[in-house]
Amino acid sequence: MIRFEHVSKQYADGTTAVDDLSFEVNEGELVTLVGPSGCGKTTTMKMVNRLIEPTGGRIFLDGDDISAIDPVQLRRRIGYVIQQVGLFPHKTVLDNTATVPHLLGVKRAEARKRAAELLDLVGLDPKTFGDRYPEQLSGGQRQRVGVARALAADPPVLLMDEPFGAVDPVVRDHLQTEFLRLQQTLGKTVLFVTHDIEEAVRLGDRIAVYGQGRIEQFDTPSAVLGAPATDYVADFVGADRGLKRLSVTPIEEGDLEQPPVVHLDDPLPRDLDAPWAVVLDSDNNLHGWISAEHARAANPGDPGNPGKKDDTVRAHARRMEAWLPVGASLKQAFATMLQHDAGWIAVIDERSEGRFLGVLTPARLHEALRRSTAADARDIARAEVELETVAPLLK
């Protein structure tokens, strides 16, 4: 969708901001550009909508060489969130959001209606915020307006230059979550600049790690974290990259263990060949768990418990607090285990009303992390893959 072919940019004073850059962003893909200040990220971005002209190479949008497209026409196909948000201070939030469609000839009333929908979409109630001016918003709210404005003309391509840069980590986390959810439905082709590696790996389908004016590695988050291509990348992603990989590796069904299972209306199990069993309801949805020891002690067949003939699992099952849907990240799994002080967590399928799929244990979590590296960094030998940072925590 967006293709760079040997693109360079040398400014008039001789600064080489971008040096022989070649990469491609596929349709519907979110690519993050990450690197230190001054490495050429904004320059890369602005060449896509021709705010800056390259001094060498070519850029294609949907197969068309953009140097042959009228810049105004080009920018209609591309939403742009600039580094400092850049809202018009004298316009209300609603009018700011409606600017582009209005410029494109959409009638004012219609543009404002669409703007209200978009504000809603980014989590700002148009009734509350629509008539405010940018200075009457918090930094995070302003950034949302910036995103709404970029989406207003429904462009297939979005350029986002540090759109969540100016807010605290909590708001930033919230904006990232919302944006990911939004992107799942919108499926835009996105080039997203950040200097924050955590943000880059969380949002990107693929990441371009920039050195000075060049891409040092262009790959999936888990490949970049699991197998940095150069010392520079290893340094940039940080020594805790093993931990960071937890957040980009989803739980898959194949990672799960199958413990003994009992149902609510079953008689109390006499001999479980495990310390506990998972308890399911009659639809095979997760209800909770039961400990083997407890089941044995309460068992009607037990000499110490005469007379409790009708005892079923239901009366003795405990509710399960530690569970996650399949597809959640290993980081969430790990956090959930710690939060509930649980040795394992149940994994369910949310799409089928919570059907129980299996359990994730620390050992399986560790294996899943290895699996992700093996799959993503195909030719990398296991020994080269760093898991040391995680392994001790799982013991």
Q: Which residues bind Mg ion (CB under 5 A)?
A: 42
Cα 305 → chain centroid: 52
**Minimal distance in Å, beta carbon 257 to ligand ATP?**
45
Is 76 or 214 the residue whose CB approaches ligand ATP more closely? 214
Q: Which of 194, 160, 190 is nearest to 1 (CA)?
A: 190
Dig out the tokens for 204 from the structure: 């990107």
Of 1, 4, 32, 40, the one binding ligand ATP (CB under 6 A) is 40
E strands within the chain?
Answer: 2-10, 16-25, 30-34, 56-61, 64-65, 78-81, 157-161, 189-194, 206-210, 215-219, 261-263, 276-280, 286-291, 318-319, 323-325, 345-349, 355-360
Select from 36-44, 72-80, 103-111, 241-249 the region that touches ligand ATP (CB under 6 A).
36-44
10 Å Cβ neighbour count for 273? 9
Select from 38-46, 90-98, 135-143, 307-315 the region that touches ligand ATP (CB under 6 A).
38-46
Cα distance between residue 20 and residue 40, in whole Å: 12
Q: Are the C-beta atoms of residues 388 and 226 closer than 8 Å to each other?
A: no
Cα distance between residue 324 and residue 228, in whole Å: 30
Label residues 140-160 b or e (16+ Cβ within 10 Å = b): bbbbbbbbbbbbbbebbbbbb
3-class DSSP state for residue 1? Answer: coil
Cα distance between residue 239 and residue 251, in whole Å: 23
* 238 is an interface residue for ligand ATP by CB under 6 A: no
Select from 33-41, 327-335, 352-360, 370-378 the region that touches ligand ATP (CB under 6 A).
33-41
* 38 is an interface residue for ligand ATP by CB under 6 A: yes
Of 42, 96, 143, 217, the one binding ligand ATP (CB under 6 A) is 42
* 249 is an interface residue for ligand ATP by CB under 6 A: no
Select from 7-15, 73-81, 280-288, 330-338 the region that touches ligand ATP (CB under 6 A).
7-15
**Which position's Cβ is nearest Mg ion?**
42
Cα distance between residue 24 and residue 16, in whole Å: 21
In a 10 Å sphere around its CB, with 0-12 CB exposed, 13-18 middle and 19+ buried, how is residue 56 labelled?
middle
Is 13 or 341 the residue whose CB approaches ligand ATP more closely? 13
Dig out the tokens for 209 from the structure: 């790690």
Of 7, 17, 34, 224, the one binding ligand ATP (CB under 6 A) is 17
**Minimal distance in Å, beta carbon 42 to Mg ion?**
3
Is 159 or 290 the residue whose CB approaches ligand ATP more closely? 159
**Minimal distance in Å, beta carbon 172 to Mg ion?**
17
Is 11 or 88 the residue whose CB approaches ligand ATP more closely? 11
**Minimal distance in Å, beta carbon 13 to ligand ATP?**
5
Out of Mg ion, ligand ATP, none, which partner does residue 38 contact, by CB within 5 to 8 A per kind? ligand ATP
* 39 is an interface residue for ligand ATP by CB under 6 A: yes
Is 42 or 49 the residue whose CB approaches Mg ion more closely? 42
What long-range pairs does 120-128 form, CB within 8 A, spacing at least 24?
121/148, 121/151, 121/182, 122/147, 122/148, 122/151, 122/178, 122/182, 123/178, 124/93, 124/148, 126/94
* 53 is an interface residue for ligand ATP by CB under 6 A: no
Q: What binding mask, one character per residue, do residues 178-217 give for ligand ATP by CB under 6 A, x or -?
A: -----------------x----------------------
Residue ranges in contact with ligand ATP by CB under 6 A: 11, 13, 15, 17, 37-43, 195
